[in-house]
Amino acid sequence: MKDRSKLITEQRNQNTHDIDCKSTLEVVDIINAEDSIVINAVHNERQNIARAVDLIVESFQKGGRLFYFGAGTSGRLGVLDASECPPTFGTSPELVRGIIAGGIDALTRSIEGAEDRHVDGEQAITENGINGNDIVVGIATGGTTPFVHGALAQANRLKATTVFLCCNPDISPTEAVDVIIRPITGPEVITGSTRMKAGTATKLILNTLTTASMIKMGKVYENLMVDLQVNNVKLKDRAERMLISVTDLDRDAAGRLLDEAKGNVKTAIIMQKLQIDYNDARKKLDAYEGFVRKVLNNS
């Protein structure tokens, strides 16, 4: 068994030794104070995060996909981030995928031992048809998860781009990776509970990877999610409010325009701004790879 006692995420936090003696409010304050460390830890990795974003965009432009591989909290966060991309950015569910050790059952309950099988990570890469156009982000906050390292090793053999995300300063993958993202969040409030600070850092980084990538792919105009899928009342309301904010339309007119644009906010914006019909708006968006600003700047 590998000695993990020297990993910073496994060490005891000197600030929380007597947390079990504190009042409820003091416990909350201690946790909050420790959480404040996370923001700077992520900020310190901004250059590596940006490099990873550029690689993700490059992969998307080649027709590739983004895969997150993780176990436990890391795996669940990967699945969560991936699952939120289709409704937010109108992407195919296949574009961003989260793969968790132990499979779908591990999303809601612990699957003991699933993360310990290097071969399972290798097999998951093969089963998902990952190739040289794809990018694989291996998430292991402690840095030692065999499932994740198996996935990265097999991804390398298939010439996929690879990123490793961990929260320990002294861990480097034995397999080659293109980028390492290493936010150092320190010992956890409860020793070894990486669902806390390390998990929070992971969530922030995954949010940034996909959001920044989608911006660079034209999925955002100004700061609006103009590729959202209008498939419920809340999202229809949001789509109409987006149109109101970037045009001179009132609510009723925005609703009619959205209907004419077949629920596509991008198309509706182009139709209104350029005073053209649906088909011409679609042609212009296609000509500029879906970037609303490029269409408007060149029309």
Catalytic residues, which ones? 84, 115
Among 234, 259, 254, which Cα is nearest to 244's? 254
Q: How many CA atoms within 13 Å lie on the side-chain side of 16?
A: 20
Q: Report the alpha-carbon angle 213-97-62, nearest 5.
A: 50
Residue 127 CA to residue 97 CA, distance in Å, equals 13
Helix, coil or strand: residue 97: strand
What's the rounded Cα separation, in Å, for the pair 78 and 84?
10
Contact 56, 219 (CB under 8 A): no
- Only one residue has tokens 């999303």, namely 107
Residue 173: both structure tokens together: 């993958």
Per-residue DSSP letters for 170-226? Answer: T---SS--SEEE-----S-SSTT-TTTHHHHHHHHHHHHHHHHHHHHTT--BTTB-T
Question: Which residue carries 């895969």 as its tokens?
Answer: 67
What burial letters (b/e) apply to 229-246, b meaning 16+ CB within 10 Å? bbeeeebbebbbebbeeb
